[in-house]
Amino acid sequence: MAEQGMPPRVSPVRRRLLRAVRLLFTPLRPDDYLELVNPLWSTRELRGRVERVRPERGGAATVLIRPGFDWVGHRPGQYVRLGVLIDGVHHWRAYSLTSSPDRPDGLISVTPKRVDGGVVSPYLVERARPGEVVRLGEVEGTFTLPDRLERGLLFVTAGSGITPVMSMLRQLNRHGSITDVVHIHSARTADGVTFGDELAELDKRHDGFRLTVRVTGRDGRFTPDELDTVCPDWREREAYACGPGELLDALQAHWKCHGDPELLHRERFQPIVGGADAEGEGGTVHFAHRNLDADCPAGTPILVAGEEAGVEMPFGCRIGVCHTCVLRIRDGRIRDLRTNAVSEKHNEIVRTCVHGAEGPVTIEL
């Protein structure tokens, strides 16, 4: 089944009323008729209307969305699954919420950066228009600030890794709690820094905010060894890192050897799925009901292999979050493309978007 949005917060009166007359509409629901008037009135899933799309530097854009019902709220640093209609097809992606949770106008925002060869981010950045309806999925993520700030903060971000941290900074700013924050942000070029102006503004206004922007195109990548110079007391701080896998891995190793790993929180802004230098052999996927074989090279999710072979595959987020893509594996060895763990399956349900074949695999579809 295709992925749905999260159930909205609907007043109990309304819910009860709808339920009372439901029998008159079976097998449809009263909602099916109300949606004709306004698609945001669906009480089955939360939808939102795009209010503005604001271009940001570095090939990103902030999409401001007004949810149809009360927004469930989020903690800064969390992400939301967004369902977008592109050329007749619903696509789901998870994006960090960049809005502060208590925006007075009730809007929420995400700030995708255009990924070359992608489907959803180029659409959101270049083609999305105000008035468009999007579906809002579950709010998820544990990359959040502690309830009480007991120590100084250190943010290490790179590229789009700035997005969850932006929401944190905005909230801290709103509550006047930017008292002791060090932020090291890497970007390829100096003027391609997403939210660059806002960061500079914060830097200027708050003595407790120390921003270091690393221009990697000019000065090379930031390495953990440099922490001692940029932020000598890094060991005492609650650290939050978000960016590409290599950076996160390096930080993790550094904290393990020289600091307290408990204090380092990491968030990958892009799940690592496959890629050019993927491990493993790959294999062939046999779709039992279709009686069809699909080639599944190393690093290719079964979902993609199936689609390329012309099989109608169920999918949602495509990053292993939503479980829409699950199919039953009759037999075969599969590789988890995120962890590279290989396992043998017998009649087991598997997320096809994050697993590749390792040898012959037979799937019930």
Partner 1 sequence: MQSPPKHPFAHLSADQLAELGREFDAIHEQVRYELGDRDRQYIKGVIRLHRQIAVAGRALLLGSRSKTLWAAGTGCLAIAKILENMEIGHNVLHGQWDWMNDPYIHSSTWDWDTASTAEAWKHSHNYIHHTYTNIRGKDKDLGYEIMRIDPNQKWHPAYLAQPFYNLLLMAFFEWGVAVHDLDVEAIRRGEKPLKDVWHDIKGISGKARDQIVKDYLGWPLVSALASVAVGRLSNREPRSAKRLLADRVRGRGWLGAAKAQLSAARTEGAGGFAATFWADFTANIIRNLWAHSIIFCGHFPDQTYTFSQDEVRDETRGAWYARQLVGAANITGSPLFHLMSGNLGYQVEHHLFPDMPSSRYAEIAPKVKDICLRYGLPYNTGPLSRQLGSVHRTIIRLAFPGGAPRPKPGPYQGEPGDDEVRAAA
Q: Which stretch binds ligand FES (CB under 6 A): 39-47, 128-136, 190-198, 311-319?
A: 311-319
Query: How far apart, in whole angstroms, are the C-alpha atoms of residue 81 and residue 83?
Result: 7
Q: Strands of the chain (E only): list them.
A: 47-56, 60-67, 79-86, 89-96, 108-110, 133-140, 153-158, 181-187, 209-215, 238-243, 264-268, 283-287, 292-296, 326-336, 342-351, 355-363
Binding partner selected for residue 323 from ligand FES, partner 1, none, CB under the kind-specific 5 to 8 Å limit: ligand FES
Tokens of 6: 């999260």
By CB under 6 A, residue 353 contacts ligand FES = yes
Tokens of 194: 């997403």
Q: Which of 193, 317, 329, 363 binds ligand FES (CB under 6 A)?
A: 317
State in angstroms the smallest separation of the CB of 127 from partner 1: 12
Closest CA to 67 of 31, 42, 87, 34: 42
Binding partner selected for residue 20 from ligand FES, partner 1, none, CB under the kind-specific 5 to 8 Å limit: none
Rank residues 251 and 317 by Cβ distance to ligand FES and give the closer one. 317
Binding partner selected for residue 300 from ligand FES, partner 1, none, CB under the kind-specific 5 to 8 Å limit: none
Tokens of 349: 């349900």
State in angstroms the smallest separation of the CB of 351 from partner 1: 16
Query: How far apart, in whole angstroms, are the C-alpha atoms of residue 362 and residue 339?
Result: 22
Rank residues 16 and 54 by Cβ distance to partner 1 and give the closer one. 16
Closest CA to 1 of 314, 335, 354, 337: 314
Tokens of 344: 């043998």
By CB under 6 A, residue 350 contacts ligand FES = no
Q: Which of 48, 77, 112, 316 binds ligand FES (CB under 6 A)?
A: 316
By CB under 6 A, residue 321 contacts ligand FES = yes
Rank residues 239 and 325 by Cβ distance to partner 1 and give the closer one. 325
List of residues contacting partner 1 (CB under 8 A): 1-4, 23-28, 32-33, 36, 44-45, 85, 87-91, 310, 312, 314-316
By CB under 6 A, residue 173 contacts ligand FES = no
Q: Which stretch binds ligand FES (CB under 6 A): 28-36, 97-105, 278-286, 321-329?
A: 321-329
| Residue 188 DSSP symbol | S
Q: Which residues of 233-266 are buried (b: 16+ CB within 10 A; e: fewer)?
A: ebeebbbbbbbbeebbebbeebbeeebeeebbbb
Closest CA to 241 of 303, 160, 161: 161
Helices (H), the chain: 12-20, 30-37, 120-122, 162-174, 196-205, 216-219, 227-230, 245-258, 302-308
State in angstroms the smallest separation of the CB of 326 from ligand FES: 7
Q: Which stretch binds ligand FES (CB under 6 A): 37-45, 160-168, 190-198, 316-324?
A: 316-324
By CB under 6 A, residue 285 contacts ligand FES = no
Rank residues 193 and 317 by Cβ distance to ligand FES and give the closer one. 317
Q: Distance between alpha carbon 159 and the CA centroid of its chain, in Å?
A: 14
By CB under 6 A, residue 324 contacts ligand FES = yes
Rank residues 66 and 328 by Cβ distance to ligand FES and give the closer one. 328
- At 236, the amino acid letter reads E
Rank residues 138 and 358 by Cβ distance to ligand FES and give the closer one. 138
Which residues form the interface with ligand FES (CB under 6 A)? 315-318, 320-325, 351, 353
